């Protein structure tokens, strides 16, 4: 094998090794970006979950108050007031069901975000060791 051919082969091997190294570095950077995004999603979902819990407690308190007022209106014969309280209770129950569905979705999203973080960390360790 001639000297030029050896140089050409060494240069080719060096270029291939450099390209593989660069690709590996890009994978590590992308995995880190993915982990950062997953953590940001997780924080967002936790904030949403906490808001939904607060809204649920508020709706439950409103329903209890409206029920007390409904009982009072029924005892005193205030049919118009009782009708308003029934409508308020129905509206609060709809809000409560909506918040409950949102809470369930947020809990599911939190679970998926945690899973994604675990997988991205595993990928990062794998890419870093190659």
User: How many structural domains are present in the chain?
Assistant: 1
Q: If you search the block for the tokens 């240069």, which residue do you land on? A: 11
Residue appearing with tokens 């590590």: 28
Beta carbons within 8 Å of 37's beta carbon, 6+ residues apart: none
Reported as a pLDDT band with limits 50, 70 and 90, residue 71 is very high
Q: Which of 33, 14, 94 has the alpha carbon at shortest distance from 62?
A: 94
The chain-wide mean pLDDT, for the chain, equals 82
Please give the pLDDT value at position 57. Answer: 95
CATH number, domain at 38?
1.10.287
Q: How far apart are CA 44 and CA 55, in angstroms?
A: 17
**Domain coverage including residue 32:** 3-129
* The pLDDT of residue 102 is above 60: yes
Comparing 111 with 9, the larger pLDDT belongs to: 111
Half-sphere exposure of 49 (CA within 13 A, CB side): 14
Mean pLDDT, residues 109-127: 76
């Amino acid at each position: 094998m001639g000297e030029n051919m050896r140089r050409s082969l060494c240069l080719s091997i060096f270029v291939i090794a450099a390209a593989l190294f660069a690709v590996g570095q890009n994978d590590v950077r992308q995995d880190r970006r993915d982990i950062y995004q997953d953590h940001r999603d997780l924080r967002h979902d936790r904030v949403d979950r906490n808001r939904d819990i607060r809204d649920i407690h508020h709706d439950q308190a409103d329903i209890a108050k409206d029920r007390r007022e409904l009982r009072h209106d029924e005892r005193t014969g205030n049919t118009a007031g009782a009708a308003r309280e029934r409508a308020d209770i129905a509206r609060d129950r709809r809000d409560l069901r909506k918040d409950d569905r949102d809470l369930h979705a947020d809990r599911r999203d939190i679970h998926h975000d945690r899973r994604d973080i675990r997988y991205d960390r595993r990928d990062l360790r794998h890419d870093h060791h190659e």
